[in-house]
Amino acid sequence: MSANDTDQQTAGGDDEPILSVEAVDSGYGDVQVLDDLTLSLADGEIACLVGPNGAGKSTVLKTVFGLLTPWEGQVTFAGRDIGGMAPEDIVREGVGYVPQTENVFGSLTIEENLKMGGVARSDDLEPVLDQLYDRFPLLTEKRNAKASTLSGGQRQVLAFARALVMEPEVLLIDEPSAGLAPNTADEVFEDVQAVNDLGTAILMVEQNARKGLSISDYGYVLDQGTVAYEDEADGLLDNPEVSRLYLGG
Ligand SMILES: Nc1ncnc2c1ncn2[C@@H]1O[C@H](COP(=O)(O)OP(=O)(O)OP(=O)(O)O)[C@@H](O)[C@H]1O
């Protein structure tokens, strides 16, 4: 569902969210980063996390994906408690993750990277790979090339496609536009919307807050490890205080 749809289902709606993070504390070693953080993602929606450097946005995704164990609170996906589960089990549950950096294996071909994305599947990968090649023609052209030969934007598309091999219900994406030229970033955002249009709910961290919110249904502003503001994405974009404090005026 895109931000332009009229029948938006938002995190504030009555429907049970597909993903929820409730009163979570989390961090690295004994350094606490997330402090009583609560947010949710409605089925079919794009929600965007924005906020200053170091606010804890990436830490939210890492905690949802099991790379960090919540110290307190609950992470629930499709009604099941996934807090503290291992990432490979969370992938099998139906949650995918596209990290910000080092998200492809440069020494492997495009096809090998995609197959790596499906190691947790026991069925035949060919049908899903064919669908992904249809959706991302660039990957078809380059299927036998090493991923190290791809540009930054192309790598981002590959990382994205690799996460889709598992056909996740929810995709966590960390800064899809990081390091990309504006035109390339726009293409990646179009891919994010296209995947969402096919039914995958997306929780995305984006440094380019205005752009991220403009393709999202709902938004959260994180500051110092907790939610400072939340609203429908358009509401955050129109909020003068949010704009002044977090969106560069
Ligand atoms: N592996 C780590 N070990 C220790 N501290 C870390 C680690 N990764 C991040 N941190 C710290 O956690 C805090 C939150 O980092 P996080 O990456 O979640 O922020 P962010 O909001 O995503 O910001 P950015 O846009 O800069 O990535 C920061 O103070 C950061 O220094």
Q: Is 60 in the pocket of ligand 1 (CB under 6 A)?
A: no
Residue that is written with structure tokens 């609560």 in the block: 38
Q: What percentage of the chain exceeds 70 in pLDDT? A: 94
Mutate which of 59, 61, 203 for ligand 1? The one with the most ligand atoms within 8 Å of its CB, which is: 59
**Closest Cα to atom 24, ligand 1: which residue?**
53
Closest residue by CA, ligand 1 atom 28 = 54
Residue range 113-144, pLDDT digits in tens: 999 999 888 889 999 999 999 989 989 999 99
Q: Is the CB of 200 under 6 A from ligand 1?
A: no
Can you list the domains of the chain with their CATH numbers?
Answer: 19-104+168-246 (3.40.50.300)
The half-sphere exposure of 173 on its side-chain side, counting CA atoms within 13 A, is 35
Q: Which of 12-26, 50-64, 232-246 has the lowest mean pLDDT?
A: 12-26
Cα–Cα distance for residue pair 249/246, rounded to 1 Å: 8
Q: Parallel, antiparallel, or unpaired: how do β-strands 19-28 and 72-77 relate?
A: antiparallel
How is 143-158 classified by DSSP, letter by letter?
A: TTSBGGGS-HHHHHHH
Question: Is 97 in contact with 77 (CB distance < 8 Å)?
Answer: no
Cβ of 55 closer than 6 Å to ligand 1, yes or no, is: yes
Cα–Cα dist 209/82, whole Å: 28
Any atom of ligand 1 within 6 Å of the Cβ of 28: yes
Q: Cα(161)–Cα(176) distance, rounded to whole angstroms?
A: 13
Residues 80-85, mean pLDDT to the nearest whole number: 95
Q: Which atom of ligand 1 is nearest to the CA of 207?
A: 25
pLDDT category at 14 given cuts 50, 70, 90 is low
- Return the residue matching tokens 């560069």: 248
Sign of the C-alpha dihedral computed for residues 204, 68, 179 and 194 taken in this order: negative
Residue 68 Cα to ligand 1 midpoint, Å, equals 12
175 Cα–ligand 1 center, Å = 13
Q: Predicted confidence band at 147 (pLDDT cuts at 50, 70, 90)?
A: very high
Closest-CA residue to 17 (of 64, 67, 62, 58): 64
ipTM for the predicted complex: 0.96
Which residues make beta-bridge pairs with 204? 48, 173
Measured in Å, residue 56 CA sits from the centre of ligand 1 at 6
CA 236 to ligand 1 centroid distance, Å: 24
Dihedral angle sign, alpha carbons of residues 209, 187, 9, 39: negative
- Confidence grade of residue 7 (pLDDT, cut at 50, 70, 90): very low
Flag whether pLDDT at 226 surpasses 60.
yes
pTM metric for this prediction:
0.91
Residue with the two structure tokens 């955050």: 236
Handedness of CA 166, 172, 175, 181 (dihedral sign): positive
Q: 243 Cβ partners below 8 Å, 6+ apart?
A: 237, 249
